[in-house]
């Protein structure tokens, strides 16, 4: 697999020279400065590509993460022709620049969601964590969403009430900021009234409506992807569950089957995120990878450890609930199959995702979940697994 590294652009505290030192050869980046729904111009793409692919680094821009979908598309809100036209134009501009893999997601309002960004680890270091009781405290006592207690176990409701009663204003502000932290490239950050208003816009949007709006998006853009050689790959929901009363529709094996069958094209593919899918106890991540292997265009390799109450924490890359060795074997077997077919695009880009903050990572102002040393450790571990699999099973 092609070893890549996520880079948030020139303002990222992680520099391209760090990526070279980590041993990655591909860069995963996006033009976060461009508002959602606007065109990524050839000039803007060329400027970023020139920085990434400076010969001094020996890197290439391997994957766009993400070319975001405007919220109006998810809502099916009004005349979307300009938004779709702009998206297709951005796709063509990226393809013309030689960037052919586009990762995106279809999560309403929020991206990945955690309640704690610095959960302590044994021996030092910190990890991202989703504490179910803190999420419920936010939803029920801060957001005050009607129905927020439905289906929540009584013991979690009790924990949530205890947390809220003991919390300070600073604790509540920090929880809101943590929940918003999964939007590193978004322009919108919501306070409580703004989030309530955004959620209100989804009041009449059912799960079937959301699926229909997604299918419409695919019907609008996949023909363009086929035309210009783009591989689109949807990122699963993180976490893979409804949040704040919003349905999420990229959470299970059945969801993925619906999406890939909605427009049956190789250009309509999947970002296999082992951590996102792995946070749902019902998901067999290596099994999902095997079923949809021919449509996996990108992989986020990370692990989570789940708790019985619905909480989970980012684990070591090889140490969580997902059998990472088994998953890598599936992906590398698919690469061998593609190469045997003579495909030029046989290689699956992968990146280590959501590393622990280790040693002096805390001293750097990196985006939550994207420290240098923690990801370096993860990449080294994954690289070792790939080398062993290749030695034993490779052609």
Catalytic residue list contains 317: no
What pLDDT tens digit does each residue of the chain (395 aa) get?
A: 999 999 999 999 999 999 999 999 999 999 999 999 999 999 999 999 999 999 999 999 999 999 999 999 999 999 999 999 999 999 999 999 999 999 999 999 998 999 999 999 998 999 999 999 999 999 999 999 999 999 999 999 999 999 999 999 999 999 999 999 876 555 567 899 999 999 999 999 999 999 999 999 999 999 999 999 999 999 999 999 999 999 999 999 999 999 999 999 999 999 999 999 999 999 999 999 999 999 999 999 999 999 999 999 999 999 999 999 999 999 999 999 999 999 999 999 999 999 999 999 999 999 999 999 999 999 999 999 999 999 999 75
Q: Are 313 and 130 in contact (CB under 8 A)?
A: yes
Q: Which of 132, 297, 354, 356 is catalytic?
A: 354
Please report the DSSP string for 120-173 in residue order. Answer: E-TTS-EEEEE-HHHHHIIIIIIS--TTTTTT--HHHHHHHHHHHHH--HHHHH
Strand 312-315 and strand 303-306: pairing? antiparallel
State yes or no: is 202 an active-site residue.
Answer: no
Number of CB atoms found within 10 A of residue 333's CB: 16
Is 354 an annotated catalytic residue? yes
pTM: 0.95
Angle made by CA atoms 298, 300, 301, in degrees to the nearest 5: 130
- Rounded CA separation 202/246 (Å): 7
Reply yes or no on whether 353 is catalytic.
Answer: yes
Token pair recorded at residue 160: 């949530």
Catalytic-role residue among 297, 353, 356, 361: 353
Active-site residue among 18, 300, 317, 356?
300
Predicted confidence at residue 32, as pLDDT, reads 93
Instruction: At 351, list the tokens.
Output: 């990146």
What is the distance between the alpha carbons of residues 152 and 298, in angstroms, rounded to a whole number? 34
Phi, psi (deg, nearest 5) at residue 364: -105, 140
Cα angle value 152/157/162 (rounded, 5°): 160
- Start-end of H helices in the chain: 16-22, 42-52, 71-75, 81-96, 132-136, 154-166, 169-180, 192-200, 207-228, 253-262, 274-278, 285-291, 324-340, 372-393
Q: Give the tokens for residue 8.
A: 């948030």
Q: How far is CA 360 from CA 124, 125, 371, 372, in A?
A: 10, 9, 10, 9
Question: In this predicted structure, what is the pLDDT of residue 184?
Answer: 57
> Which tokens belong to 126?
């910190």
Which among 18, 111, 273, 356 is annotated as catalytic?
273
For residue 295, give Cα distances in angstroms to 259, 329, 335, 351. 11, 16, 11, 17
Distance CA 111, CA 89 (A): 24
Strand partners, 351: 300
Of 235, 297, 317, 356, catalytic: 235
Residue 101, both tokens: 């893999």
Phi, psi of 190 (to 5 degrees): -110, 140
The residue whose two tokens read 């703004």 is: 194
| Structural domains of the chain ordered from first start | 2-110+202-393 (3.20.20.150), 116-198 (no CATH)
What does each C-alpha distance from 239 to 109, 305, 311, 312, 357 come to in angstroms?
Answer: 13, 13, 10, 9, 20
């Amino acid at each position: 697999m092609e070893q890549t590294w996520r880079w948030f652009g020139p303002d990222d505290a992680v520099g391209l020279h760090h990526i070279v030192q980590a041993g990655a050869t591909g860069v995963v980046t996006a033009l976060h400065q461009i508002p959602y729904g606007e065109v990524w111009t050839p000039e803007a793409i060329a400027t970023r590509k020139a920085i990434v692919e400076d010969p001094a680094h020996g890197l290439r821009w391997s994957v766009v993460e993400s070319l975001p979908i405007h919220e109006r598309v998810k809502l099916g809100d009004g005349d979307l022709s300009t938004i779709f036209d702009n998206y297709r134009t951005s796709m063509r501009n990226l393809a013309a620049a030689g960037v052919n893999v586009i990762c995106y997601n279809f999560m309403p309002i929020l991206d990945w969601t955690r309640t704690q960004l610095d959960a302590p680890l044994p021996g030092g270091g910190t990890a991202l964590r989703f504490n179910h009781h803190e999420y419920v405290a936010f939803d029920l006592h801060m957001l005050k969403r009607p129905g927020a207690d439905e289906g929540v176990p009584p013991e979690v409701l009790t924990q949530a009430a205890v947390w809220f009663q003991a919390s300070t204003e600073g604790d509540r502000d920090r929880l809101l900021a943590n929940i918003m932290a999964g939007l590193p490239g978004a322009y919108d950050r919501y306070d409580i009234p703004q989030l309530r208003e955004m959620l209100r816009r989804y009041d009449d949007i059912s799960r079937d409506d959301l699926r229909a709006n997604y299918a419409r998006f695919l019907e609008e853009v996949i023909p363009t992807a086929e035309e210009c050689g783009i591989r689109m790959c949807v990122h699963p929901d993180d976490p893979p569950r409804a949040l704040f009363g919003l349905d999420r529709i990229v959470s299970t094996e059945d969801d993925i089957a619906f999406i890939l069958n909605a427009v049956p094209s190789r250009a309509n593919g999947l970002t296999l995120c082992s951590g996102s899918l792995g946070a749902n106890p019902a998901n067999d991540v290596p099994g999902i990878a095997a079923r949809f292997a021919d449509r996996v265009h990108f992989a986020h390799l990370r692990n989570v450890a789940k708790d019985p109450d619905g909480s989970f924490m980012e684990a070591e890359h090889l140490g969580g609930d997902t059998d990472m060795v088994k998953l890598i074997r599936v992906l590398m077997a698919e690469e061998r199959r593609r190469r045997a077919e003579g495909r030029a695009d046989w290689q699956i880009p992968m990146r280590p995702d959501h590393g622990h903050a280790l040693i002096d990572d805390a001293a750097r102002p990196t985006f939550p979940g994207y420290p240098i040393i923690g990801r370096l450790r993860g990449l080294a571990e994954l690289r070792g697994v790939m080398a062993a699999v290749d030695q034993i099973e490779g052609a």
